[in-house]
Structure 1
Amino acid sequence: MAWPCVCASLTSVMLGLVVLSLASQSCYGLGTFGFDIHHRFSDPVKGILGIDDVPEKGTPEYYAVMSHRDRIFRGRRLAAGHHTPLTFAAGNETLRINSLGFLHFANVSVGSPPLWFLVALDTGSDLFWIPCNCTSCVTGLRTLSGKTIKFNIYDPDKSSTSQKVSCNNSSFCKQRQCPSSGSSCRYQVDYLSNGTSSSGLLVQDVLHLITDDDQTKEADTRITFGCGQVQTGVFLSGAAPNGLFGLGMDNISVPSILAKEGLISNSFSMCFGSDGSGRITFGDTGGPNQGKTPFNIRTLHPTYNITITQIIVGDSVADLEFHAIFDSGTSFTYINDPAYTLLGEKFNSLVKANRHSSQSPDSNIPFEYCYDISPNQTIEVPFLNLTMKGGDDYYVMKPIILVDSEKEGNLLCLGIQKSNSVNIIGQNFMTGYKIVFDRDNMNLGWKESNCYDDVLSNTSPVPSHSPAVSPALAVDPVATSNPSINPPNRSFRIKPTLTFMMVVFPLLAIF
């Protein structure tokens, strides 16, 4: 029997971050929650997990595995006062993990006594779920060097604060028929890709949080999440092996629950540092000097969908309107035609480098617009800007990716891929920014950031009671923005500094 989906939007999850800090408990103060994030391929994550036998950053294998997981997860069911900041009990720092994908992950603590779970952070999904008394799930990883990493498996009966959600719970349970009045609520999330899904029971338990400015103050809260008994598809081969942390708009997502409880403003931010580090902060609404654009809201399965009105490459401006989803669960940026070809061909006409010849059928390089480079060569590439609805400019800090290949040579590639479905702004185009998902005002905000020097600035007070209307039911906001800024007529000058080498991609054993 297949139960109706509690959360149906698919996410491209690539194991990517691990939170490095701990501690939290209770004190329901209003505010924000935040923690640092690092990419799964970063040296800190490799050090924590003891994983050295991973794809070398910049190799075709490195980008091929990220692109592969993106493709796996891109199939989505789409439809349309000042307060104390808060963070996870693990503290402010999270890390990316090399051989499990490309995206941001965090180590979250749930239950009493607390158990830790390495979960993928995903704005393209709603439900937070973790492996739980599972008959089909990943219980750990084993590297080629023989190191074993065991994951925690949640058991509601072993947590003194756990409570199963009743099938009659109208707030969270979407099960169509209840066998009896006291039966538990079952869920199934279908990710519509290679039979990928998670199913089990909905439960409530304590999520351990602490204040972000003083990490000795505990701020635990009860949340509803999925006790994932059966995982299928790519979840069994390393995609989100220890759980998925839904950051979407639906009322079952963690930010929605925290806002409904009156703990935070109905907003959060994610910062994507150029060095692979980052932060996520619940309740952060950004500042008055950030760029912003309204969300395109649909009542059924709402997503962080925005409208792009112009593509600017170098000094060339093209008026072309299309919609795209800002998705932290996707490594790269995926664009449909005609925008994909327009952007790619304009970039190709302006870049000062020789285009790489047609790739062989067995090539691991997932990008179409690639250029041959040498280690000591300086290359000019055009500046890339996306003008958002409302007029604010979104300058892409890192439009290019360096690839080193013993087989195909050393390459510089435009970090976009052609989409045949939805347009997605992935993490590579978010690098260098703090992205604000403001669900109170129904807009996306962004501001250049290194993720270390930000001062949290809530621009609106948290209401004493949670909003009565779910974001999924909100009407489209009126577009407001800062005055348009003319893009600079400039280009990047790239001098490759990679140590060019080829390594064999080592797979982690899943058990």
Structure 2
Amino acid sequence: MAAHFNNLVTIAFAAVVVWVLQLELGEAFGTFGFDIHHRYSDPVKGILDLQGLPEKGSVDYYSAWVARDQHRLSKGRRLAESGDSDMLTFEAGNETVQISALGFLHYAKVSVGMPPLSFLVALDTGSNLFWLPCDCSNCVRSLILGRGAIIDFNMYSPNASSTSEIVPCNDLCEQRRQCLAESNACPYRVAYLSQNTSSQGILVEDVLHLVTEGSQQKSIDAPITFGCGIQQTGAFLDGGAPNGLFGLGMSDVSVPSVLASKGIAAKSFSMCFGLHGLGRIVFGDKGNSNQGETPLNIEQSHATYNISLTQIAVEKNVTDVDFTVVFDSGTSLTYLNDPAYTIITQNFNSFAKDPRSQILSNSSIPFEYCYDMSPNQTVIEFPDLNLTMKGGDQFHVFDPLIVLHLENDSLSYCLAVVKSGDINIIGQNFMTGYRVVFDSEKQVLGWEQSDCYNDTESKTSTLPINK
């Protein structure tokens, strides 16, 4: 059975993709996973001494978050339980890195082709297309790190991989009028809506190398179709995803969908967001009976992980609401329209125990509600924030704050919610402390409290301060 994908889909970085891919449907089995780190996490900073990294906790640090998010959003951005056995990870390893020049996405190393080549790819639940820089005429080949060190990126080439096949230019190729006659290759084009950002090339088939995580390791070579990105422009040359983009969206062309169509994993995966920037991603993970769940809103022109909220509770103040929001791992902060923005921020302010900051109210900081801390303060007490999803399950926000280190060595903190002019987005900061399950097969979003590596943590409304 052929699945045709021939409509416009808005993806991460406010991109539009047009292409077609033939998929063979089959029964899904197994799961696989690898570690993810936010690019500013302390463990990643220990791996690479990176140049140009804003000081963590500074105003510039969080202003850069918002600048990166708003760059992507300003042009109308798109928006059976698995056991512990048969867990798989990328064969290239489960280490991930955060690089200051690469936006605010999570990154992981993947291995593709034969002989295998490793690529440092950006992970985003709002993207569908998996593409790699390939026989490039215009792309990033290396990065300069701190103290002048250079990291070289691999470039994919169909001619260099014995398992590579070019997708032919036939009736299933949407852009067959632009086919290259000499190669009979099906082209793809990713056209971005801002700053002349794009990726274009041809579609290829090759293998993605996976391996089971257990003591008895087993290699799995997953056949996938992806973009051979011959030419990149704009943001791909200046920052985001210079060595490839790993699509995790709902479309039939996304990596989770392709793995499901090949019978390798269920069309579901989880991402865990640890309190200190460490995380994990597991394909085929359908969660468990203890997790919270809410249905996905699938009646959209562009399918996203979109759900409905019915209630907002800040401490004892409970407000009924009715609006939709997108869960997006590719957005660092949380963006809300009114009335949700005002409900959360004003109720939070009414319960705040520390004085409202006058210094930050006149600064370029993107947060409206910030508070000053006393010199000897070691703990922040803040009100409980709970979101009730359609169906009645609650989503407790563990870490809605951002702590700022000011120039005079004083500390302040802000409620890390930005007022949005259009779409509502739950970003990485609100997902902290959860394993979030993106289940396209069951058409639900699930969540369970987790620190990603050890036991689950207790609910708390205090934060220790690291000075």
Tell me the TM-score normalized by structure 2: 0.88
Distance 2:76 2:299 in 1: 13
Within a 5 Å distance, the mapping from 1:436-447 to structure 2 comes to: 436-447=437-448
Asked if 1:55 is matched to 2:54, the reply is: yes
Partner of 1:137: 139
Structure 2 match to 1:37: 36
The within-5 A match list for 1:463-502 is 492-498=461-467
Q: Do the aligned partners of residues 375 and 206 (structure 1) sit closer, same or farther apart at CA in structure 2, a change above 3 Å counting?
A: farther
Q: Tell me which residue corresponds to 2:372.
A: 372
Distance of aligned partners of 1:41 and 1:247 in 2 relative to their CA distance in 1, 3 Å threshold: same
Distance in 1 between the 2:381 and 2:252 partners?
46
Pair 1:495–1:91, CA change in 2 (3 A): closer
| Partner of residue 271, structure 2 | 270
Q: Does the CA-based 8 Å contact 2:178-2:187 persist in structure 1?
A: no
Q: Which residue of 1 aligns with 2:340?
A: 339
Confirm or deny that 1:193 pairs with 2:162: no
Deviation of residue 75 (structure 1)? 4.5
Asked whether the equivalents of residues 381 and 491 of structure 1 are also in contact (C-alpha less than 8 Å), the reply is: no
Q: For the Cα contact (< 8 Å) 1:10–1:192, is it kept in 2?
A: no
- Summarize the Cα distance change of 1:77–1:7 in structure 2 as closer, same or farther, 3 Å threshold: farther
CA 132–240 in structure 1, closer or farther in 2 if over 3 Å, else same = same
Q: Which residue of 1 aligns with 2:449?
A: 448
Deviation at 1:437, TM superposition (A): 0.6
Would the aligned equivalents of 1:270 and 1:434 in 2 still touch at CA under 8 Å?
yes
The counterpart of 1:119, out of the listed 121, 144, 164, is: 121
1:465-493 deviations in whole A, cap 9, x for unaligned?
xxxxxxxxxxxxxxxxxxxxxxx9x9723
CA deviation vs aligned residue, 1:430-453 (integer Å, no higher than 9, x gap): 100000011111000000011114
Distance 2:189 2:178 in 1: 15
1:183 Cα deviation from its structure 2 partner: 2.4
State yes or no: 1:294 paired with 2:295: yes
Q: From 85, 88, 93, give the equivalent of 1:86.
A: 88
Q: Where does residue 19 of structure 1 map in the other structure?
A: none
Distance in 2 separating the partners of 1:346 and 1:29: 45
Alignment correspondent of 2:21: none
Equivalent pairs, count: 445
How big is the shift at 1:78?
Answer: 6.6
2:162 alignment partner in structure 1: 160
**How far 1:63 moved relative to its partner?**
1.2
- Number of the residue aligned with 2:18: none
TM-score by length of 1: 0.81
Aligned partners of 1:305 and 1:323 also within 8 Å:
yes
Alpha-carbon distance between aligned partners in 2 of 1:222 and 1:96, rounded to the nearest angstrom:
28
**Equivalent residue, structure 1, for 2:395:** 394
Distance in 2, matches of 1:495 and 1:41, equals: 19
Distance in 1 between the 2:49 and 2:77 partners? 38
Asked if the contact 1:314–1:491 (Cα under 8 Å) also holds between the matched residues in 2, the reply is no
Q: Which runs of 5+ in 1 are unaligned?
A: 14-27, 456-487, 499-511
Query: Are the aligned partners of 1:293 and 1:389 in contact in 2 as well (CA < 8 Å)?
Result: yes
Distance 1:232-1:247 versus aligned 2 partners, 3 A rule: same
Label 1:322 to 1:426 Cα distance change in 2 as closer, same or farther (>3 A): same
Distance 1:152 1:73 in 2: 26
Q: Is the CA contact 1:376–1:497 (under 8 Å) kept in the aligned structure 2? A: no
Give the direction of change, closer, same or farther, for the CA distance of 1:12–1:393 in structure 2 (3 Å limit).
farther
CA–CA distance in structure 1, aligned partners of residues 307 and 6 of structure 2: 25
Alignment of 1:226-237 (within 5 A): 226-237=227-238
Q: Which amino acid aligns with 1:88?
A: F
The alignment status of 1:315 with 2:294, answered yes or no, reads no
**Structure 2: distance between partners of 1:136 and 1:179:** 20
Q: Shift of residue 496 of structure 1?
A: 2.5
Provide the rounded CA distance (Å) in 2 between the counterparts of 1:127 and 1:6. Answer: 13
1:224 is matched with 225
Deviations 1:387-434 (A, max 9, x none): 000000000011111111206952111111111121111000010000
Match of 1:474 in 2: none
Provide the C-alpha distance between the structure 2 equivalents of 1:199 and 1:412, rounded to a whole number of angstroms: 43
Deviating more after overlay: 57-66 vs 202-211: 57-66
SS of 1:382's equivalent in the other structure is coil
**Partner residue, 2:177:** 177
| Cα offsets for 1:151-182 (capped at 9, x unmatched) | 11111111111111122262xx4326355787
Determine if contact 2:13/2:77 at 8 Å carries over to the other structure.
no
Conserved? CA contact 1:333–1:425, under 8 Å: yes
- Superposed CA deviations along residues 311-345 of structure 1, whole A, max 9, x for unmatched, are 11111101111111111101000111121122111
CA offset digits 1:21-43 (Å, max 9, x no partner):
xxxxxxx9930011111221123
Structure 2: runs of 5 or more not aligned: 15-26
**1:61-102 deviation line (CA, Å, top 9, x unaligned):** 221222211111124667788662222113344343345333
Q: For 1:34 and 1:109, how far apart are their aligned partners in 2?
A: 14
1:265, CA displacement in angstroms?
1.2
Contact 1:107 1:116 in 2 (8 A): yes
Distance 1:62 1:277, change over 3 A: same
Contact between 2:13 and 2:192, CA under 8 Å: does it hold in 1? Answer: no
Give the conservation status (yes or no) of the 8 Å contact 1:163–1:203: yes
CA RMSD of aligned residues (A): 2.7
Write the distance in 2 (CA, Å) between the matches of 1:189 and 1:302. 17
CA distance in 2, matches of 1:66, 1:404: 16
Q: Distance in 2 between matches of 1:169 and 1:431?
A: 45
Q: Percent identity?
A: 54
What CA distance in whole angstroms lies between the structure 1 residues aligned with 2:295 and 2:265?
A: 21
The answer (yes or no) to whether the contact 1:374–1:496 under 8 Å persists in 2 is: no
| Separation in structure 2 between the aligned mates of residue 162 and residue 50 of structure 1, nearest angstrom | 35
After TM superposition, give the deviation of residue 60 of structure 1 in Å.
1.4
With over 3 angstroms needed to count, the CA separation of the structure-2 counterparts of 1:366 and 1:448, relative to structure 1, is same
Distance 2:109 2:351 in 1: 43
Match of 2:432 in 1: 431
1 CA distance for matches of 2:55 and 2:236? 24
Residue type matched to 2:113 in 1? G
From the superposition, tell whether residues 323 and 34 of structure 1 become closer, same or farther in structure 2 (CA, over 3 Å).
Answer: same
- Say whether the 8 Å CA contact 2:352–2:382 is kept in structure 1: yes
